[in-house]
Structures are given as C-alpha cells and as structure tokens.
Amino acid sequence: MMQLIALEANNRVRAERPVVVVVTRKKCAAAERAVRSFATAAAALAIDAIAMDADDADNAELLDDLGITCVPECLLFARGVVLERCAGARHDDDARAILGAALRRPRDRR
C-alpha cells in the first residue's frame, strides 16, 4: 500500500473514485494487519487504498482535523466526503463488509 503524506492524501481523497486511507504506525502489528485487510478489501471492491503515518509531523494537522484517536484507523473517502471510518477490522471479510456497506454495494450474503 502506498504511503502518502497529508498534502498528497488531501488531493487523492477529493477524487471521484473512492479511496481508503489507513492511518498506520511503524512496527505496529495491529496497523500491519489493518493495512493487509483493507488493501485486500479495496482491491476486491476496485477502489484505491493508501496509508498515512500517524507519527509523521507533516500529517499531524490533517489527522487532528479528522479527529484521529487510534492507530490503526481507516477512513473511506469519495469526493472529499468521509463515507466511513473504523478502528481497523477483524479480518479481510470484515474490512470488505465495512467498505461495501459504506459504498452501498450489495454484499455477498444478499
């Protein structure tokens, strides 16, 4: 998953195409799991996924504005609007269900 700083991320999230932003931290197992799950889910739903480092000073203002309190935290954007956010997921299917519901795409069970 591509690691971006706030300036680049700000541009990406305004796009028409939905994008998942995963707030991560180095050497954090929970963050690594979230990156894997959301990257897999994003690929399955044909949307983009990027990561942002919670400890990078360049990201602090954007993460403050978004009220990020946890690592990992995952946000789904489309056209600059946050459609969903969560503190990670249990597993790949959970991540896919979270994103799918926010995008209002039918889930497998329906």
Partner 1 sequence: MAAHNAPYGAAHTAAAPSESADASTIPAAPASMVGLAALYDDPAFKVLYARVHDARQALPDWDNLAHVTAFAGAAELVGELLIRPRGAQERRALAHLLWQLLPTAMRARSFLPLPDDLGRRAEDGFALVPGDVPRVAASWVAFLGDPELLPKALAHQPLVLVPRSQAKALHQKAPAVLVQAERLEGDLLHARALGAAAEPVRPTSLESVAGWLLSAGPDARGLDLRSEDDRALLLVWAQLLRERHVDGRSAFAWLQDGNAPASVKARVVDACLDAAVAAVGTFTLDPQACRFSLSSREGEGGWAEQAAAALRTVALPDGPLVREVLPRARQRGSVAELVWADALLVETGYAAGRLSALGAARAFARLATSVLAPLGVLPLSGLRDGRGAVLLQRFVEEAPGEPRLAAPRLVSFGEAVKNEPLADAWRDGRGLMLPDPKAGPRHELAAMPAWLALFLEGIDDGYRSRPPQPAAREATP
For 40, 72, 100, 106, the CA distances from 97, given in Å and listed in that order, are 12, 17, 5, 9
| Total count of residues recorded for the chain | 110
**Smallest distance from the beta carbon of 25 to partner 1, in angstroms?**
7
* 39 vs 74, beta carbon nearer partner 1: 74
* 46 vs 65, beta carbon nearer partner 1: 65
Q: Which are the contacts of 37, defined by CB distance < 8 A and separation ≥ 6?
A: 88, 89, 91, 92, 94, 95
**Smallest distance from the beta carbon of 26 to partner 1, in angstroms?**
12
Residues at the interface with partner 1 (CB under 8 A): 23, 25, 28, 30-31, 54, 63, 65-73, 75, 78-91, 94, 97-98, 101-102, 104, 109-110
**Smallest distance from the beta carbon of 54 to partner 1, in angstroms?**
5
Residue 6's CB is within 10 A of a number of other CB atoms, namely 17
Question: What Rg value do the Cα atoms of the chain yield, rounded?
Answer: 13
**Smallest distance from the beta carbon of 46 to partner 1, in angstroms?**
19
